[in-house]
Amino acid sequence: MIQTIDDLAQGAVLLPPDQRFALAQRILASVEPQGHAAIDAAWAAEIRERIGRYDSGETPGIPASEVFAELDERFAQ
């Protein structure tokens, strides 16, 4: 039986990358608040709609450098 977090971490890093990833997902899922199906479905629909608008050219992309420059400017004030 693993008794400490350090022991657990030492054992976990010996796992293959895909198993470490699966373990991390399980641990995160155990502490995340429970979702609501209706809210999750609404967000999934919104995401599909936004991707569709981007893919069709209706919504242009903005380079990350511009986004971060604008945020820097806003927070500098």
Give pLDDT, residue 34: 83
As a whole number of angstroms, the distance between CA 31 and CA 24 comes to 11
Q: What percent of the chain has pLDDT over 90?
A: 84
Amino acid at 34: Q
DSSP 58: S
Cα three-residue angle 52-57-58, rounded to 5 degrees = 75
Model-level pTM? 0.49
Question: In the predicted model, what is the mean pLDDT of residues 26-52?
Answer: 93
Domain borders along the chain are: 1-32, 37-76
Give pLDDT, residue 33: 83
Using 50, 70 and 90 to split pLDDT, how confident is the model at 58?
A: very high
